[in-house]
């Protein structure tokens, strides 16, 4: 449901990805007695109002059934990083080079194909054998490679890192993965919940690291900016967009300060809070001034990127399972 509203445009002047989505409400004039069922895993209060408006439905005639999108096993961590991709991801190259196939499986979401390809080329040029366990997934990825990557994400394969745009989205079941990195937050909180929720399907402690720079904040919705910059519990800040005040009381009761977010962890005085593997790796590498600027690019605008034979290869058929 949230894709229908977002892709159809939140307002009349929007440059909609799927402009006809906003005209679905016209079906009601053709079938005035039909019952509408609207489903969404991440419907914010703002999107809910928009849905009712587009469909011309009186809220008094609607029955709501809500389940919280809150996944208690996923910790939220936010870090501001340098504008250049190379400096922001230097830690990734260093730790991947050291751990190789032992690197914890991680999905890295980017806002553009350009950022995906820049990080991919950065890693594979510095670590040539990483071609065996690092891949990218976006709208220009060949179909056979998409299928292979999805298959590898569904089992305990040697695939360690997938760099992806939102093309790696609906109907994807990522297994054996407890860390996701969001390089450049999505514009709205619904997509943020979608991307962070790709991991931790096994119920084990997981972490969503949201990395952002000043450039990437320009087009974000106010709710996302608040999530990034507010100095109180990030989980509460995020969930307030989906729940009523009464529902938020239930969310607050379920909070685990040890594994809620980076802000709650700083306030915890137990002395026994444990960082997850990807957090330790991010913290163990030197600061941005160690990075090599020659790999950097501060321009994050989306451009077309096509796989060349010497730049992209499908996962090896004879890789160890």
Query: Does residue 23 contact residue 56 with C-beta atoms inside 8 Å?
Result: no
pLDDT surpassing 80 at residue 226:
yes
- The Cα 191–Cα 229 span in angstroms is 18
pLDDT of residue 22: 67
Q: How far is CA 257 from the centre of its chain?
A: 22
Instruction: Please give the sequence-ordered ranges of beta strands (E in DSSP) within the chain, or none if there are none.
Output: 74-80, 106-110, 134-137, 161-164, 179-183, 206-212
Average pLDDT along the chain: 82
Predicted local distance difference test score (pLDDT) of residue 318: 38
% of the chain residues with pLDDT over 70:
81
What average pLDDT does range 116-134 have in this prediction? 95
Q: What pLDDT, on a 0 to 100 scale, did the predictor assign at position 309? A: 32
* Helix, strand, coil % over all residues of the chain, rounded to 5: 45, 10, 45
- Residues 257-314: pLDDT tens digits? 788 999 999 988 887 788 899 999 998 764 444 444 444 444 444 333 333 333 333 3
State the pLDDT at residue 221.
92
The model's pLDDT over 29-48, given as tens digits with 9 standing for 90+, comes to: 788 788 878 787 778 888 88
pLDDT band at 142 (very low <50, low <70, confident <90, very high): very high
Q: What is the DSSP-derived secondary structure letter of residue 39?
A: -
pLDDT at 17: 47
Closest CA to 182 of 211, 157, 155, 204: 211
Q: What is the DSSP string of 148-217?
A: HHHHHHTTT-S--EEEE-TTS-TT----S--EEEEES--SSHHHHHHHHTTS-TTSS-EEEEEEE-TGGG
- CA torsion 96→98→102→104, rounded to 10°? -40
User: Domains (ranges, CATH) in the chain?
Assistant: 2-61 (no CATH), 74-295 (3.40.50.300)
The average pLDDT across 232-251 equals 92
Distance between CA atoms of residues 235 and 74, nearest Å: 10
Q: Point out the least confidently predicted range of 22-26, 180-184, 236-240, 293-297.
A: 293-297
pLDDT digits (tens, 9 = 90+) for 98-108: 999 999 999 99
Confidence band, pLDDT 50/70/90 cuts, at residue 21: low
Percentage of the chain beyond pLDDT 90 is 53
The pLDDT value given to residue 203: 93
Burial 43-72 (b: 16+ CB within 10 A, else e): bbebbbebbbebeeeeeeeeeeeeeebbbb
Q: Which of 29, 37, 24, 34 is nearest to 63 (CA)?
A: 37
d(CA 7, CA 144): 26
**How big is the chain by its Cα radius of gyration, in Å?**
21
- Using CA of residue 44, residue 49, residue 54, residue 57, what is the dihedral sign? positive
- pLDDT, position 294: 43
């Amino acid at each position: 449901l949230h894709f229908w509203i977002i892709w159809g445009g939140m307002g009349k002047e929007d440059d909609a990805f799927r402009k006809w989505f906003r005209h679905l409400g016209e079906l009601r004039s053709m079938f005035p007695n039909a019952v509408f069922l609207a489903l969404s895993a991440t419907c914010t209060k703002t999107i809910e109002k928009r849905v009712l408006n587009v469909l011309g439905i009186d809220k008094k005639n609607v029955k709501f059934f809500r389940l919280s999108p809150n996944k208690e096993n996923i910790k939220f961590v936010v870090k501001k990083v340098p504008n250049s991709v190379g400096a922001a991801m230097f830690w990734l190259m260093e730790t991947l080079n050291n751990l190789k196939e032992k690197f914890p499986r991680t999905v890295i979401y980017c806002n553009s194909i350009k950022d995906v390809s820049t990080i991919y080329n950065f890693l594979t040029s510095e670590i040539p054998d990483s071609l065996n366990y690092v891949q990218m997934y976006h709208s220009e990825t060949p179909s056979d490679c998409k299928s292979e990557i999805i298959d590898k994400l569904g089992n305990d394969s040697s695939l360690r890192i997938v760099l992806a745009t939102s093309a790696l989205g609906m109907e994807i079941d990522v297994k054996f993965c407890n860390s996701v990195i969001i390089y450049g937050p999505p514009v709205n909180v619904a997509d943020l919940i979608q991307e962070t929720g790709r991991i931790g399907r096994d119920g084990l402690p997981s972490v969503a690291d949201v990395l952002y720079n000043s450039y990437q904040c320009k087009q974000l919705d106010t709710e996302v900016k608040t999530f990034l910059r507010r100095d109180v519990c990030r989980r509460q800040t995020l969930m307030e967009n989906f729940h009523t005040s009464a529902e938020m009381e239930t969310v607050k009761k379920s909070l685990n300060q040890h594994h809620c977010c980076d802000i709650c962890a700083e306030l915890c005085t137990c002395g026994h809070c444990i960082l997850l593997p990807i957090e330790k790796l991010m913290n163990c590498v030197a600061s941005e001034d160690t990075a090599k600027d020659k790999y950097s690019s501060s321009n994050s605008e989306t451009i077309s990127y096509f796989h060349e034979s010497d730049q992209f290869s499908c996962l090896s058929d004879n890789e160890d399972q």
